[in-house]
Amino acid sequence: MSKRYTITAALPYTNGPIHIGHLAGVYVPADIYARYMRLTGNDVAFICGSDEHGVPITIKAKKEGVTPQDIVDKYHAIIKQSFEDFGITFDNYSRTSAKIHHDTAQEFFKTLYDKNEFVEEVTEQLYDAEANQFLADRFVTGTCPKCGNEEAYGDQCENCGTSLNATDLINPKSAITGNVPTLKETKHWFLPLNKHEAFLREWILKGHKKDWKPNVYGQVKSWVDDGLRPRAVTRDLDWGIPVPVEGGEGKVLYVWFDAPIGYISSTKEWAAREGKNWEDYWKDDNTKLVHFIGKDNIVFHCIIFPSMLKAEGSYILPDNVPANEFLNLEGKKLSTSKNWAVWLPEYLIDFPNQQDVLRYALTANAPESKDNDFTWKDFQARNNNELVAIFGNFINRVVVLTNKYYEGVIPEPSEYSTIDEETLAAVKAYPAVISSSIERYRFREASQELMNLARLGNKYLADEEPWKTIKTDEARTKTVMFVALQIASALAVLSEPFLPFTSNKLKSILCHSELDSESQWDDISIKDILIPANHKINKGELLFSKIEDKTIEAQLEKLEASKKANEAANKVTEPQKEEITFEDFTKLDLRVGTILEAEKMPKTKKLLVLKVDTGIDTRTIVSGIAESFKPEDVVGRRVTVLVNLAPRALRGVESQGMILMTEDEGGNLVFVNPDTQNVSNGLQIS
């Protein structure tokens, strides 16, 4: 096994805080892996940083009336702090606006430029004449040529996931002015991915067919089989890293090119601080490079970045890219723009000292092979039924009984029974079982094996019943408690990658710091005694607490409130119709009426057949409101009726007028009613 690991986690984009989708997809599995690798004695560089360039940041800055630097400074601080508070153990968390990154990215570009690894092309790109600028991909929206989504961006359709160029869009529009852009010539440098196609086929499609996740391998194969094309590495923008060659004035490095180099610059920053050689972690064949990302980043980390590294010539290639699928929230796709998310900073406030509950819930339900759904009810069940009832219950019983029977001093065991030996042998097997899952990037499976160890402890106590034997067989009770404490000690170590705060709390209860050496992963399978007799432990404290229904309801209400607020904020008010004259208006005959009868029209979903007293007659009106109202709900309703609308046959029924309707803030149909109940049917509205 390699002894040096460079572990990277996708650079979060600094235009908003971290949410549970980011955590489940990237940061929790990456942290589990990094913590495990440290516990097994490896040399680890766990690297990340803020991705601070790109168009969404300039859009947000423009919208808020501040500079892009203001935006990235704000969110870099929020993201960095929330990662620390959540226990993500990056060895270095940098940022792409740092000088060391600008220098590293420019040097990388210059190396490839000097080796003639780029293709220089003059192309036509979309240009907004009113804004007097070329339109970067995210400044263009239009219809996706693949799926017809009318809100696709110039680089990607978020509906079908297709990677696009802005010029591929049907009916493109400028996101700055709303104008239809024109084509204008501009010069850029391109990375000819087609040149690296044979290398990618050999390296991934042959070399990693068996050890890369099927979702990753499948997406790479689809891309390569579809034929790779040159991809621009520069763009016309004023926010980003300046292109460091002649002719690059007014241009910056494309964010997809500079962002992955952020792993290298962050490693340089860490190595300089720690007195290490950064090249050992990027250029030594004995180093294992692993990228943790979400599935939307597969193409960048499996095709584009490796092609860049290969073209440069001196870097190692990733050993694995265990990308996860997406996490949905309460059955709907997570959306930052629609505020349909659980934000990490808010979680840390709402659930103080419960970081491990979220870590466990996200791991146990991780979207490792397919999109999964986070629900607050499942979160509650994972806490109450597993962390509290299994893990916490076992530890609490062991600690309470040890303090009750022996004043916290671990008793001397006597001869082991067969069940004792079998139990201790089972404990010794767990490190290898959990290791196997982690090293195959099956973190869900690994977390459940950890919980199985706690189940083993509970079953052992339930079968041996020390609370009964204490009255009849003191020697047997001491042995049972000694064995139970070995299980507790194993849990303290093996839980660290998954439940680091709990692990620390449990180590404190067991006074691990007073033992001869710091416990390591392999100690569990090697040592016969993990925590010795006559060692004194502390009083117990609850590792987990039950989460009540009212707490979950509050979170669901918060989501519903944000949904309604977003709908209200994004509700489009229809523009004013074409101007009419007063004479045109007087042609409309609007009357107060009352619905007398209502029934559904057979074989239709939307239509109700209404009998309406208009004050001048009783007439039939067919109205498309059946999906919003039951017939019995509308009988007796006062309504506004357009009575002189020309009759129209609908499904064989002649409709003699129209009921006036509108929508409320939630998009629900509502009647446009006369306010005063004393107004008689038939009175005109003018």
Residues 613-639 have pLDDT tens digits of: 998 999 999 999 988 899 998 898 899
d(CA 384, CA 549): 11
CB burial of residue 13 (10 Å; 0-12, 13-18, 19+):
buried
CA angle 440, 444, 449 (to 5 degrees): 90
pLDDT in tens, 535-590: 999 998 999 999 999 999 999 999 988 877 776 665 655 667 788 888 888 889 99
Rounded to two decimals, the pTM is 0.82
pLDDT in tens, 450-482: 999 999 999 999 999 999 999 999 999 999 999
> Would you say residue 666 has pLDDT above 90?
no
CB burial of residue 279 (10 Å; 0-12, 13-18, 19+):
middle
Structural contact between residues 209 and 217, judged by C-beta atoms closer than 8 angstroms: yes
Structural contact between residues 18 and 27, judged by C-beta atoms closer than 8 angstroms: yes
Structure tokens at 523: 């100690």
**pLDDT exceeding 70 applies to what percent of the chain?**
96
Structural contact between residues 216 and 321, judged by C-beta atoms closer than 8 angstroms: yes
d(CA 612, CA 678): 18
Which amino acid, residue 653? V
> Would you say residue 517 has pLDDT above 60?
no
Q: DSSP letter for 387, please.
A: I
**pLDDT recorded at residue 677:** 62
Grouping H, G, I as helix, E, B as strand and the rest as coil, residue 638 is strand
Structural contact between residues 154 and 143, judged by C-beta atoms closer than 8 angstroms: no
Q: Is 507 left (phi over 0), alpha (psi -120 to 50) or beta?
A: alpha
Give the residue, 236 or 419, on which the prediction is more confident: 419
Distances (CA, A) of 553 to 23, 350, 548, 550: 23, 13, 9, 5
Contacts 24+ apart (CB under 8 A), 607-615: 607/650, 607/651, 608/634, 609/653, 610/634, 610/659, 612/639, 612/641, 612/657, 612/659, 613/681, 614/641, 614/643, 614/657, 614/681, 614/682, 615/591, 615/680, 615/681, 615/682, 615/683
d(CA 189, CA 91): 34
d(CA 200, CA 320): 14
Look-up of token digits 């990237």? 26
Q: DSSP letter for 212, please.
A: S
Q: Tell me the H-state helices in 17-161.
A: 20-22, 28-39, 55-64, 68-86, 99-114
> Would you say residue 207 has pLDDT above 80?
yes
pLDDT in tens, 166-197: 888 899 998 878 889 998 889 999 999 999 99
Look-up of token digits 């002719």? 247
Structure tokens at 230: 């040159």
Closest CA to 44 of 29, 31, 25, 26: 31
Mean pLDDT (the chain, rounded):
92
